Structure 1
């Protein structure tokens, strides 16, 4: 059985792979300029917003293919092969007429296009007669190393004997790649570090802390062949390992303890639980796929209703805090909630795409991405995966996403405690009223007999219903205004007795289980919004519905991974779970 990729291995591999993934300069013979490799990227960055990836072509000129440029538009052929000076495209670029606006094509880019036309406007392959609307993903874009499936390359044959046995230089496949790169530059490994240096490096790398004197002594005294491995394992098993390395993922997720909404900057009282979830996951060496699935769709892994939640279920719900780390301006009073909620969705997609896809797709919210093969349709297909949970049309502010962790047993105990405390409170109130009444009668004896009934009536009348005469009567005789706070001045024994009774009530109420909460990114069951593609990214200008889907460039063999509109087996849409 294939073992799951563990978080510890993955995070440490990121560090080691930095040696392997450093790009190298590869010299190649000068090749003729071609449309696909050299010119289309220029057109995509500066021209195709008006002359390609739009429903209505400006001037009926399409520059998605060299063939289309040669055919031209309303003004005639834009490209005349072999005649750069006679090509309208070069004329408009050099004059600054095109593209409109402040962003012009740099002179070095114009020179490349000019050279390409002068040399015959070559293409790498035959072009089709027509294209479907929108920007196509070219074979060159698909062939780019970033979009290739992961492979396990054979380690270079370095640091080995003639029979292939590793020497002391190469102990792991990573060593072979590093050594090969060093040797290509005429370098070798540095001398092996002494034990004190090694343990300092490991301790700082894995925990961010220096080794203790005891740890140093233990390692130096251990003469076993696997002393180094055991020392590394000890640090991997320490709580500080998760605390140190969780910071990297929390940075990627945009972790913050407040909403970041301007001057108010509302506190997120339960955000720390997501932070602790990441730390626990690293210290538990959780499989990486499980780690990601829980953060994207942990709520869809926990059956409804969410009563009597078990610790492992709470863990999955806490994980969805990953999708609530963006700045949320909807907590600010007087804010345009439609604008602010759509901004939250956009920022969340930035976090998801940059952390999991290695792409910043935000540009495609308004138009096809100028540099990466991400269309606006792709962007909104991706948004459709998350919109059921982050639905601006049924927006829920952070406080509305809290789930109580009370169990049925907690609720029963809380009800019993409340009932017992209420019984004690009723008795307390009656005793207090009796003591105050007794104190009042004693105090009334100090006033003229003809005023006693009036004072008693004024005292017993609720404050908001007293007449002006009654208010004045009591104001002129403040000693009659007896309340619990001053009862000790009239009857200290009674006040002390009430204090003890109140302590009993408080102790009883303290028996009530504390109600804890968790902030969850989840969907409202039975509510699946329709995601619309927005004209220029403006939520006030929806154009047409889009279905959920992955980025086209992420598809393999020309096929697209299908994400259901609604998973019939779940009360939710199931889109995030399918994508995860």
Structure 2
């Protein structure tokens, strides 16, 4: 017999208020009912425990959906996320229960029973500025409250049925795109010009027959030759942008030479005005300006150098392929093109075009600013050099060209991983020659100079025993008090110094220098003679030794006590700070040791090929004192060969997790922290990224750089 299954209400079975009853017609009814009762008995207490109010709860939930939720979805969501509209923005459909639970590109939109974890509540509450729905107007608070309540009750939804097979993504077949358009095809050289029966002498160049053929196909007659007066004006305006003088017009009209036209063209191409005229068009493509364009319109440093570079390149007839290489990566060319007049590195000026765009001097959103800057660079590059609008692929695969979103962001990665800095364009050949000479000079003479220096030091050290006790006695005898003389007053001409020097047969200048040094050493626990000076001034040896050991212990304890305040992201825009011990991987750069290729990133010659090793002599400019000091620690130094070289040193790219960066340095330095490739132009924001350091002496110091804002 045929069987029919019917879902219905059934109220008499072990407290169940809603149960699927299978009504079977025919001879099998009794056996089926027996099996149903057996199943009921087997379930026992498990079935009896089913919530007795389920039917009422589900009915209430469906009524809540129909009264409060369906109207919100229909009015605000269906036009972009429904089968009726034929749209599934973000691959999301909201017109069925299945589509709602499935979600879209951003994942499931609801978690029944948990509104806080539901993406739907986050986007309609405008918690995330990058994802807000509806996009134009926020829902009323009452509607958001109803959605929240609905999800809390388990998101009951009577809209059964399959979700429609609709996609918002166009099929992107890059091979097909390339095959269908001539621009992506290789250049063909086998095409012959059309045969013309009667060209009338009009076709003079290889391209003219093609033009004449198209003119004839359109029933058009080519224009006749221009007069000489018209021709010279056209050439002047086209090539130089300036009108010819009456004398120049007369001379050209009177020139009967068969090469008069060619000679005039060559003369105008050789004019400096040619580069000025056509350089304007190229500079427009590069969106050239000498200021940033945003608000206060701050100047772009050295922008004029790029402008002049373009003019000179056109006048020098630089091949276009070389011109392109110089723009893309001219700073990396092994044998750069030099300006014959100034010997400046012309190739290195080409990449300046990357940084000519509008720049916000104090962006609130640095990541957004970076995305916009990189997008501008991609847009300008692709239009000028490729004749394509790659910028369209920022949000989706290109609608027409063979460019995918993956291509766009792969190219963006190259630009994001590149950094901006001003490069020395002085004669690179001369710089390299000077660098090699100084390197060889140092290698050949360092040992000899150090040996000679050691001999003079040995003589001076042998006199320490004579000067130290006398200087200590003078320092110890200096009275204390408000009006008492200061140790700095005890110079070579001071009566006490003179008398002590004469009595001990010592040099008064050197004795005064020892007094000044001992005064400094007794106040600095870091000085290597601190303990000796304290003993010489009367402290017991035991106390001095105890002080030194305490200092060592305190230093060790201090190093172990260093804590890292780490910022951890918990949820959308929610950051929690936690404290942990310092770890070795927290070290961004350690120039006390040799550096690998992934650690040492110099620009220019100033910092050399690597850190200066500990113990290396630092040469000075005083011929009487050739060794200014010895490098006591391995360090990145800009004075190993000469301070006249230019350059910079940068660290590896690292993530900012804590509140502070610490630098150990001495001398002067300009420090810049590039956050998401942002380079500060001016205030009021981000002034903290720039730091000017000055140790005001030859002692190493620590400098804390506050980075908690990033």
The TM-score bracket by the shorter chain reads: 0.3 to 0.5
TM-score (norm 1): 0.44
Over alpha carbons, which structure has the higher Rg?
2
Query: Relative CO higher for 1 or 2, CA cutoff 8 Å, sep ≥ 6?
Result: 1
* Between structures 1 and 2, the one with greater strand share: 2
* Between structures 1 and 2, the one with greater helix share: 1
